[in-house]
Chains A and B, each alone.
Chain A
Amino acid sequence: MSEARPSQRHVNVVCPFCGLGCDDLEIASDARGVRVEANGCPISVSAFARAAAETAAPTIGGAPAAFADAVARAADILDRARAPLLAGLGTDVAGMRAALALAERLGAALDHMNGAALQRNAKVLRETGWVTTTLSEVRNRADVVVLLGGDVAARFPRFYERLIERRDPLFPDTPATPELVFLGGAAPRDLPASPSAAHVLPCATDALGEVLNALRALVGNRALQASAVAGIEREALRALAERLTGARYAVFVWAAGLLDAHGDLAIDAAAQLVKELNRTTRAAGLPLAGRNGDLTANQVALWQTGYPLPLRFARGFPEHDPYRDSAERLLARGAADALVWISAFEPLPPPAADIPTVALVRPGTQFAAPPAVGFPVATPGVDHAGHVFRCDNVVALPLRRLRAAELPSVAEVLDAIAARLGAGSC
């Protein structure tokens, strides 16, 4: 019966491959694989298609191995490690629960592959807080939308379709399409209605904070001495400040991953500007994220430990030091002696590191050098059910199983390794 499985059609499918959390996909699955048939985007079409016909065996040193042997070898590596690191963390809620349980037993550190971008937002939230909003509010209320630093559509392809090109917002006072302002980056070429020149204010990405601070001064009726800020004329800024003060619900959108290394300064400036606007009208930020399960991993870490990522359990309890424990720095200074790399959504290889690596990855991942142990794992939302968080951090979406899976999930592999710890070498 499984040989001649007819094509199955799935509707209202949730896509876990970017943080927008589109849940209206129509997907066909059959013996040839999984295909997006409606409401796809470049990311989802290729990510679901890549999920087709993926079967592969675990590997030890690059050679195929039995699952039990690979688990035993991974447990042995981790038993011997004094300072293991779990990184990547591209997984769903269940996978992150298993990662935290394993890290706690090992006294390991954990960080997500998007850790640098996560920190840009985390720092602002921790130091001043902010006023933010969620997708349905933007969809129905925003009358001005300011995009900070480049075109978010490259990472969140259906952003304009779902939030900007709305036909009938809930409130008649909300315009059918909000005014779009591009601050810092160029406007995308394929918008149905191109924004007026007054609404495109290019500047260097690392000058965004300066520009936003100038806007805040103008919104707060404070004098601005400079005739231009980061190449933007004072009068253009003044016009924008007036538009923002006059808006009913201005929304500032940024994707921390598209900002520069000091993007926290731009985010902080945006947060303070939004707070300033809220003295007299309403405004909010919309931080976009959620690719490769970054927000999901962070949310589970927060509720299970009290801290966001990165984390370490070296002393038997969770500790959070975002500078010391970033995966990048731990690896760069040789402070980790074994790596568990998790990337279940996209076939991303682990960073180059001269330490034994256990890789839980999507089949088809190209390694520079074979990992000590490799586990091809199932893709959440394709091969098994699960949960992921959407970009606004509010909505957790249910992922479905779209085909009969033969690969184990991240949680299954990590639980199996945890069960083998302390069992001695194989």
Chain B
Amino acid sequence: MLIRLARGTVYDPARGLDGVRRDIYVRDGRIVADPGPGATIDRDIDLDGAVVMAGAIDLHTHIAGGKLNLARAMLPEDHRHDPLARTGRTRSGTGHAVPSTFATGYRYAQMGYTACFEPAIVPANARHAHLEMGDTPMVDKGGYALLGSDDFLLGLLAEGAEQPVINDYVAWTLAATQCIGIKVVNPGGISAFKFNARRLDLDEASPHYGVTPRRVIAALTRALEELGVPHPLHVHTSNLGVPGNIASTLATMDAAEGRRIHLTHAQFHSYGTEGERGFSSAAARLAEAVNAHPNVSIDVGQIMFGQTVTASADTMRQYANRRHAHPKKWLCMDIECEAGCGVVPFRYRDRNFVNALQWAIGLELFLLVKDPWRVFLTTDHPNGAPFHTYPQLIRLLMDRGYRRRALEAIHPDAQKASVVGALEREYSLYEIAILTRAGPARILGLTDRGHLGEGARADITVYDDHPDRERMFRTPRYVFKDGRLVVENGEIVDVAWGATHVVRPEYDRSIERRLAAYFERYRTVRLPNFAIADDEIAADGRGRLIVEPCGRRSA
């Protein structure tokens, strides 16, 4: 089956194509070269100038695992007004802030997304996360395993273990949990909270282990570099949400010692203490540091106004934020000598000074970080806002008139405390394609995703070039997944299942003997039952594993 997408306007930053009229050919799920005049084209679709991009990739979206099921159990009211009925083709479900898995897949695809990465998989909960991702249709999936507050790693660091041992443990974790990257959340802090510490700064020794968060960052960034894992350490820094946390955020950058590091939902970590309320934007300071450090990337974690729920492994900070819960209920959980989870429902209000400034801080980060390859479009779904707000966020970035009008609607003191109104920058379609396609693919090491070159998987989104960018990005004209037309004018016309991307760096297997003994002595699952076998992901015939290559690279 040969498909031609004729006369589209192609935005493909990985190949430097900025709005170029091109035909694209698709055969057997991949993009192929122009087969020449003699070839039989089975399906010819005239795009007549419509915008063509690779399928979008969300590198940080909480779509699967225990914390989301806890949020669903706690908030049935989140779903009541957003039911999704079954059709002959699609399953039923529910949407809003924590959608059901089917709704998650359908709605991402309906927005032109073809891959989603769950950024916080507690290893003990990894099998659960993969079971949920197995029930998430339409998109490719992958996850980042959570380390950095686990007792095994903290124990290694406390005893002064050599770096190769840490590398083996990290590589084993990636293999056992079937993940593509490593995340650290409030390094050491989740463990510290179990010992009743209520804060842990970057250079503070953790309870019991005496290990500083800085040491955790150094050890893990080095491990990933030495293992050749494409995605740098994905870091939720210390002191989330605390006024003045810009200091520890900047210090965390330094803790990477020049190695690559990704700071996630940076908006929540870019706060100063100025002003009469003691809460101010430090976005300019963060952006300046990002601009000056090519080893650093960020995703923003934009907040959008409305009801949502925050679900995070950062029990220390979630516990502290419980008093902001709306509605007034919250939960925390300590998990398996590895991490934790806290679920706090939130309603961000535009007339609340802090929320309004958080919104502005996110936009400042987008507009002040110069290199679009090192900033990614996220709302930390659902923590800053549900993912279905992305089209509106894209319009805020692309349309400064719209942005100014939105700014005028928020708390007046927050307007004054932000430089957003003075920022003229408007993102181009080319830059949006970097933020949502080419950039995420590159930083995740996905060589055949996020671009439209020959050999790429044919994950393709076609948009009408509507001047209202929100409308444009809300409802693509076509979405292709692995070469199959799956969405047409917002309707799902075919159901795809997507693959799970993992990495498997080499390691010395003798670490497993040590781990097996540790698990048997202290933990409540044995090592052979802890690791997830390949056929558990592929078992039902829908799932598929793709092992992405690792290789040593320079910082």
Contacts and interface: CB of A to CB of B under 8 A. Distances in A.
Contacts of B99: 306
B217 interface: no
A394 interface: yes
Contacts of B524: 21, 134-136, 139, 162-163, 395
B94 A318 contact: yes
Interface string A158-192: 00001100001111010000000000000000000
A126 B333 contact: no
Contacts of A303: 64, 68-69, 72, 100-101, 131-132, 135
Interface string B159-194: 000000000000000000000000000000000011
Contact of B76 (A248, A320, A397): A320
Contacts, number: 198
A210 to B, nearest CB: 23
A313 interface: yes
Contacts of B125: 394-396
Given A12-B526, A97-B135, A130 B331 contact: yes
Interface string A130-147: 111111110111000000
Residue of B68, B86, B151, B532 with highest tally of chain A CB at under 10 A: B86
A393 B67 CA distance: 10
Given A129-B331, A317-B86, A317-B92, A394 B76 contact: no
B86 A306 contact: no
B145 to A, nearest CB: 15
A306 B330 contact: no
A23 B529 CA distance: 7
A304 B102 contact: yes
A314 to B, nearest CB: 11
Interface in B285-311: none
A284 interface: yes
Given A94-B540, A101-B91, A282-B194, A129 B336 contact: no
Interface string B54-89: 000000000010101110111110110001111000
Nearest to B64: A303
Contacts of A114: none
B319 interface: yes
B496 interface: no
- Main SS of the interface on chain A? mixed
B135 A304 contact: yes
Nearest to B104: A303
A375 interface: no
A132 B331 contact: yes
B71 to A, nearest CB: 9
A23 B74 CA distance: 30
- Main SS of the interface on chain B? mixed
Interface size class for chain A? 35 or more
A304 B91 CA distance: 9
B151 A170 contact: yes
A129 B343 contact: yes
B528 A395 contact: no
A9 B485 CA distance: 50
B40 interface: no
B522 A140 contact: yes
Contact of A306 (B66, B93, B128, B135): B93
Residue of A104, A137, A300, A397 with highest tally of chain B CB at under 10 A: A137
B73 A122 contact: yes
A5 interface: no
Contacts of B98: 306
Given A129-B330, A132-B331, A134-B333, A307 B525 contact: no
A97 B91 CA distance: 12
A398 interface: yes
Contact of B127 (A94, A298, A304, A387): A387
A228 B124 CA distance: 43
A308 B73 contact: yes
Contacts of B532: 398
Contacts of A93: 131
B536 interface: yes
A396 B127 contact: yes
Given A93-B131, A248-B196, A317-B94, A304 B529 contact: no
Contact of A137 (B79, B332, B334): B334
Closest 10 CB pairs of A and B: A306-B94, A129-B331, A317-B83, A316-B85, A135-B524, A396-B127, A306-B79, A306-B100, A129-B329, A302-B69
Given A306-B76, A395-B525, A398-B532, 12 more contacts: A12-B526, A24-B526, A125-B70, A134-B124, A303-B68, A306-B72, A306-B103, A307-B76, A394-B125, A394-B336, A395-B524, A396-B128
9 contacts: A23-B525, A105-B86, A125-B331, A306-B98, A307-B94, A316-B92, A318-B79, A318-B93, A394-B125
Interface of B: 64, 66, 68-70, 72-76, 78-79, 83-86, 91-95, 98-103, 122, 124-125, 127-128, 131-132, 135, 151, 193-196, 208, 319, 329-337, 343, 521-526, 528-529, 532-533, 536, 539-540
Interface of A: 12, 14, 21, 23-24, 93-94, 97, 101, 104-105, 122, 125-137, 139-141, 162-163, 168-171, 173, 248-249, 278, 281-282, 284, 298-300, 302-308, 313, 315-320, 385, 387, 389, 393-398
